[in-house]
Amino acid sequence: VSSGFARVDAARVRALREQLDRELGAALVVKDDGVTLEAYGRDESGLGPFLADLVVFPSDTAQVQAVIRACQRHAVPVVPVGARTGKSGGSLPVCGGVALALEKMNRILQVDPDDLVAVVQPGVVLGALVAEVESKGLFYPPDPNSWETCTLGGNVAENAGGPRALKYGVTRDYVLALEWVLPSGEVVRAGHRTAKGVAGYDLVGLFVGSEGTLGVATEITLRLLPKPRAVRVALVSFRTVADATGAVGRVLSGGFLPRALELLDDVVLRAVAGKGVSFHPESRAVLLIELDGTRDDAVLEDLLEVAARCEEAGALDTQVAQDEAQREALWRVRRLVSPGLRALCGGKLSEDVVVPRSRISEAVERFKAIGARHGLVIATYGHAGDGNLHTNVLFSGPEDNPRVQLALDEIMGVTLLLGGTITGEHGVGLAKKKYLPGELGPSRLALERAIRVTLDPEFRLNPGKLFEQS
Amino acid sequence: VSSGFARVDAARVRALREQLDRELGAALVVKDDGVTLEAYGRDESGLGPFLADLVVFPSDTAQVQAVIRACQRHAVPVVPVGARTGKSGGSLPVCGGVALALEKMNRILQVDPDDLVAVVQPGVVLGALVAEVESKGLFYPPDPNSWETCTLGGNVAENAGGPRALKYGVTRDYVLALEWVLPSGEVVRAGHRTAKGVAGYDLVGLFVGSEGTLGVATEITLRLLPKPRAVRVALVSFRTVADATGAVGRVLSGGFLPRALELLDDVVLRAVAGKGVSFHPESRAVLLIELDGTRDDAVLEDLLEVAARCEEAGALDTQVAQDEAQREALWRVRRLVSPGLRALCGGKLSEDVVVPRSRISEAVERFKAIGARHGLVIATYGHAGDGNLHTNVLFSGPEDNPRVQLALDEIMGVTLLLGGTITGEHGVGLAKKKYLPGELGPSRLALERAIRVTLDPEFRLNPGKLFEQS
C-alpha cells in the first residue's frame, strides 16, 4: 500500500521482536499473520488498510511498558489500538511497526457506589461497563454511537462524546485519574479518586483526547453519577431546520437542559421514512428531545412544557413516548439514520463538525449548497443542543471521491468561518490532519508540537497522526 | 523581608522599567510606592508580605504581552495578580520583580443567550458576571466563597470550585476557550466557542489551574447554562458526622444529585450557635442540602424524599426553608462559619483537602485526633458531596505556629493515606508547595516540570510557586 508515509525498516522490527521474545517470551501474545495485520490495518474511518509489522496483545501494564521501551530502543513506531471503531483513523499504523492492542486488558477492576467511582482497564467495552454500573443503580453518561463495541481506552484517547453531552458532558468530564505509560516507557499516575483536586497541572485533561500520541492509558478511574430514575422522550416535527433550532433556543431559555436534543434534517427524514415512525407530512426537520430527572410525573410535565415551547416556535406536531416501548421506537429512528443514509446513495462520509448553536441552521443550509455545487447530496443530523453536526456527504462510488473531497474541504472552511471546530467527537487522526493547521493556527500548533516533543522527542507513538514532528 | 527566595537584582528592574517607559510610556500604569507594594504583597493566605519591585496595570492584551516580553528580556520575574483573594499565596511575588495586576482588564465583552456563552476579560469580578448573566435568565455555576470580590482570571488560574461542584463541576468545566499570553510573550488562542471540540490537545485544560505559571489569560470564553427556575434548601441535623455522611450516601443512591451538600461538624456548630438558626439539642453535625430544577413543587417533593432518606439514616430533624427569606437564613449559617470559627479561638488556618466520599467521617475523626495530640482544636466543614473538606486548625496566636505546622503536616499525610488530595480548590501556590511532591510522586513531578520548562525555560512566570526549576 502506497500511503505517503515512510515505513519502518524491517531489520529494526526483527531486532525488536527478538528483544520482546527474550524479555517476555510466550507471556506476550505477538501476531504477524496476514489476517491479523489486515484486521488491525482498518477502523471505521474507511481509510487504509495500513499494515503493522506486528500486532502485540499485552495483558498488563508491565508488558505495555516493556513493548514501548523496546520500540523506543529499536526506533520502531508503536500505535495503541482499541476496538477499531474510530472514525478518524487515529489507531491506524500508517508507518508500520507495532500495533499495541489493548483488548486483553479488559477487566472492570472496581465499581464503587459509595465513592461513585469505577476503575477499568483500557480494553473494557463501554457497553460492559454501562451494564455493570446500571445494575448497581449508577450512571456513566458518555454514549458514543459505538457504545456496544468501543472500548474505554479508545474513548479516553479520542475524548468520545455522544447525544448526552449537552447535559452531561463528554468522556473528559468523567475521567478522574489515569495510570498511563509515557512514550519514554515510564509509568505515571495522574488525577485523583475524588471529583475535585487542583494539585499540579491537569495532566489527565492533557492526556484525554491526545489520540494515542502522548502515551497509553493502562488504568482508568471514572466518575459515576446516580442513575436518573425517570426518562421521557418526544419527537417534534418542524417545517424547517431553522424552526427546529429556534425551538431549541426557546427550550433552553425556558430553563430546561435536555439530556438529548437530536436534530434530523429533510434528507435524513427521507432515509428513515417508513421505518416504524410516521412524521407529519410537512416535516422537513425533527427534534428528538429527551429529559431525565427523579420523578416521572415531573419529567413528563416538563416534557409537555418543552413541547408547548416548540409549538410556539412553529412545531407541526409532537409525539410523546408513553412507555419504554414507545421510547425505544423513537430512538430506533435515530439509530436507523446511518444505515438509512447509506442505502439512499450507496456510500457516505460522515463528519462531526461543531458550530455555535446560533449558527446551526445557517451551517446546514450552506453545507447543502456546497453539495449542490458539486452535484452531491448532503444530509445533516446531530446534536442540536451543542452544535455538533454529523454532516454526511452521500456518494455512489469511488469515482465520486474527488468531488467528495472538494465538498469536504469547503465544509471545513465554512465550519471554521462560522466559529466552529472541525471535530466534536471523532478526533483528528488521519482523516482531518490536513484541516488541523487551519483550525489551530501557527502559535497553537507550535505549542502542541512542543508539548508532544517534550513527551516523545522522536514521535515514536502514533507517528503520522495529528501533525508532523516538524 | 527574609523569605528564603532570591530576589531579583535592582539593576535589572531599572533596565526593565526604562524599557517599559520607552515602549509604553504613560499608557501603562506602573506603581512602586510603598502602599501599593505592600497591598500587592499579600493575599488571603496570611503569608507575606512579599514585595514586588513594580506593580503594573495593563489595560489590554498588547500591554500584557509587552510587559512579559520585557521581563523575559531583562530576566525579571513576573507574577500575574487578580483580586488577591487566593488562599494559597499563588499570586505573591516572592522573588520580587513585577506584579502584573489584571484589574483594569475588567470588561464583560459578551453574554450571548443563544450560544450560552460569556466572554470576559480576566479582571471581571465573578459577582459582576453572575449579576449580568442572571439578569438574562442564565446561570454560571462556579461559586467560590469569595465570589463577590474574586476575579475570573484568578478563578481560571486556580480552577476555583465552590459548593455547587458536586452537581455542576468547577471552573475548568466552564472554560470553553482562552486567549492567553505565553511566558514567551506570544499570544495563543485555544479552545472553542462551542461546548464540544476535540481538535488537538486540550490546552485550555492544561492552562486552567496552572496557577499563573504557564501564562496570563487575557480573554476568557465561558460556558453558561439555563438558570434553574426552582431552588429549595433544607438543614438536617445528625448525632454524628458518620450519620451525616451515611445519609449523603443514601441520598445519592436514591438518584438525587443535590446542587449543594454542605457538612458542618460539632465545633463548627458551636461556632455558629445562637446566630439565628437553632439546631436540635443533640446535633453534632448538620447537612445543608440544596436541590434545584424546573418546577418548585417537584423540587420540594424531591427535597422531602431526601429528608426522609436522611431520617432513615438517623437524622434528628429537618428544617425545610419555606420561602426565599428562610433559604437565605439557612445559608447565612454557612457564611457565618468562617468568622465564627475565628471568634472561637482567635486565629485559624483553613485547609481544603479532599478525601474519597466514603472516607469523610474517618478523615474528620483522624483530623480531630491529630489536633488533640497537639493541643489544638480542629473544626471541619465543607462539601460532603465531593469530599472537599475545609479543615480548620484553630489557634490563639503566633506562638502556636510550630504546633499548627506539625498538625498540618499530619493532616496532609492522613489525607494522602486515605486516597485524597492536598487541595480541592485553593491551589498549591506557596502554602502547599512542600506537600506537592508527596502527592505527585517523582514521575509526575518530573513530567509537570518538563512541561513548565517547555513553556518557560527560565521559570520567569511566578517563580517559587508549585515547584522549583530543578
pLDDT tens profile B354-401 = 999 999 999 999 999 999 999 999 999 999 999 999 999 999 999 999
B108-112: strand order across its sheet = B108-112, B117-120, B216-223, B175-181, B187-191
The predicted structure's pLDDT at residue A277: 84
Specify the DSSP element, H or E, that contains B410: helix B401-417
The predicted structure's pLDDT at residue B109: 98
Mean pLDDT, rounded, for B448-468? 97
Task: List the single best residue of A181, A357, A440, A447 to mutate versus B (max B Cβ within 10 A).
Answer: A447
The CA distance from A275 to the nearest CA of chain B, in Å, is 31
Exposed/middle/buried for residue A365 (C-beta within 10 Å: 0-12, 13-18, 19+) = middle
The set of residues, in sequence order, having a beta carbon less than 8 Å from that of A290 and lying 6+ positions away, is A163, A231, A232, A233, A234, A258, A259, A260, A261
State whether residue A403 is helix, strand or coil: helix
CB contact under 8 A, A443 and B170: no
Q: Which residues of A touch B305 (CB under 8 A)?
A: 294
Cβ atoms within 10 Å of A402's Cβ, excluding its own: 10
Nearest CA in chain B to A257: B226
Residue B86, pLDDT > 70, answer yes
Nearest CA in chain A to B183: A447
The answer to whether the CB of A233 falls within 8 A of the CB of A288 is: yes
The predicted structure's pLDDT at residue A470: 79
The predicted structure's pLDDT at residue B138: 97
Least confident of A429-433, B3-7, B200-204, B347-351: B3-7
Please state, rounded to an integer, the average pLDDT across all residues of chain B. Answer: 96
Q: pLDDT (tens digit, 0 to 9) for every residue of chain A, 470 residues total?
A: 446 899 999 999 999 999 999 999 999 999 999 999 999 999 999 999 999 999 999 999 999 999 999 999 999 999 999 999 999 999 999 999 999 999 999 999 999 999 999 999 999 999 999 999 999 999 999 999 999 999 999 999 999 999 999 999 999 999 999 999 999 999 999 999 998 999 999 999 999 999 999 999 999 999 999 999 999 999 999 999 999 999 999 999 999 999 999 999 999 999 999 888 889 999 999 999 999 999 999 999 999 999 999 999 999 999 999 999 999 999 999 989 999 999 998 899 999 999 999 999 999 999 999 999 999 999 999 999 999 999 999 999 999 999 999 999 999 999 999 999 999 999 999 999 999 999 999 999 999 999 999 999 999 999 999 999 87
Nearest CA in chain A to B203: A206
**Peptide bond connecting A49 to the previous residue in cis, omega within 30 degrees of 0:** yes
C-alpha separations of B345 from A153, A385, B264, B393 in Å: 51, 52, 17, 10
Distance from C-alpha of A222 to C-alpha of A390, rounded to nearest angstrom = 27
The predicted structure's pLDDT at residue B194: 93
Closest C-alpha to A149, from A123, A168, A169: A123
CB contact under 8 A, A439 and B294: no
Q: How confident is the model at residue B470 (pLDDT cuts 50, 70, 90)?
A: confident
Strands A108-112 and A117-120: antiparallel
Angle between helices A401-417 and A360-373 (to 10 degrees): 150
The predicted structure's pLDDT at residue A111: 98
Task: List the single best residue of A196, A211, A257, A453 to mutate versus B (max B Cβ within 10 A).
Answer: A196
The predicted structure's pLDDT at residue B278: 87
Joined grid coordinates for residue A338: 446511518
The CA distance from A341 to the nearest CA of chain B, in Å, is 24
Joined grid coordinates for residue A450: 512542543
The predicted structure's pLDDT at residue B319: 96
Task: List the single best residue of B201, B210, B357 to mutate versus A (max A Cβ within 10 A).
Answer: B201
Joined grid coordinates for residue A317: 406536531
The answer to whether the CB of B126 falls within 8 A of the CB of B150 is: yes
Q: Which residues of A touch B444 (CB under 8 A)?
A: 188-190, 200, 203
B112, B203, B249 ranked by CB distance to A447: nearest: B203
**Peptide bond connecting A113 to the previous residue in cis, omega within 30 degrees of 0:** no
Q: How confident is the model at residue B274 (pLDDT cuts 50, 70, 90)?
A: confident
The CA distance from A193 to the nearest CA of chain B, in Å, is 6
A117-120: strand order across its sheet = A108-112, A117-120, A216-223, A175-181, A187-191
The predicted structure's pLDDT at residue A1: 40
The predicted structure's pLDDT at residue A3: 63
The CA distance from A444 to the nearest CA of chain B, in Å, is 6
Q: How many beta-carbon pairs under 8 angstroms link A with B?
A: 282
CB contact under 8 A, A196 and B354: yes
Residue B3, pLDDT > 80, answer no
The predicted structure's pLDDT at residue A432: 96
How many C-alpha atoms does B306 have within 13 Å on its Cβ side?
34
pLDDT per position as a tens digit, B154-193: 999 999 999 999 999 999 999 999 999 999 999 999 999 9
Length of chain A: 470
Distance from C-alpha of B313 to C-alpha of B250, rounded to nearest angstrom = 7
